[in-house]
Amino acid sequence: MSNVTRNHKDNVFCLLYRDRKNLLSLYNAMNGTSYEKEEELEVVTLDEAICMKIRNDAAFVIDSRLNLYEQQASVNLNMPLRDLYYVTEELKKIAPPGRLHQRTRVRVPAPHFVTFYNGTEKQPERQVYKLSDAFNREETDPELELRVTVININPGCNRELLDKCESLKGYMVFVEKVRAGRDAALSLEEAVHQAVEECISEGILAGFFREHREEILEMGVYEFDQELYDRVLREDGEAIGKEIGREEKALEDIKSLMETLKLPEEQAMDALKVPEAERIKYRERLTEN
Q: Where are the domains of the chain?
A: 8-224, 232-288
Lowest mean pLDDT among 26-40, 189-203, 229-243, 269-283: 229-243
- Determine the average pLDDT of the residues in 31-55: 72
Beta bridge partners of 110: 65
Closest CA to 204 of 240, 177, 235, 234: 177
Closest CA to 12 of 39, 22, 266: 22
DSSP code, position 57: S
Q: CA 69: distance to chain centroid?
A: 8
Q: Say how many C-beta atoms besides its own lie within 10 A of residue 26's C-beta.
A: 25
Lowest mean pLDDT among 8-12, 17-21, 125-129, 273-277: 8-12
- pLDDT tens digits, one per residue of 65-111: 999 999 998 889 999 999 999 999 889 888 888 888 888 999 999 99
Q: Tell me the CA distances in angstroms from 58 to 44, 61, 94, one per residue in order.
A: 8, 10, 16
Q: What is the pLDDT of residue 187?
A: 82
Lowest mean pLDDT among 95-109, 152-166, 176-190, 235-249: 235-249
Lowest mean pLDDT among 2-16, 111-125, 244-258: 2-16
Q: What is the pLDDT of residue 237?
A: 60
**Is the model's pLDDT at 49 over the cut of 60?**
no
- pLDDT tens digits, one per residue of 216-249: 887 533 333 344 444 555 566 666 666 677 788 8
Question: How far apart (Å, rounded) are the C-alpha atoms in residues 218 and 215?
Answer: 5
Query: Is residue 83 left, alpha or beta, with left meaning phi > 0 and alpha meaning psi from -120 to 50?
Result: alpha
Sheet of strand 147-152: strand arrangement: 42-43, 58-62, 65-72, 110-117, 147-152, 126-130
Question: How far apart (Å, rounded) are the C-alpha atoms in residues 191 and 8?
Answer: 11
Binned at pLDDT 50, 70 and 90, residue 161 comes out as very high
Q: pLDDT averaged over the chain? A: 84
Q: What is the pLDDT of residue 1?
A: 42
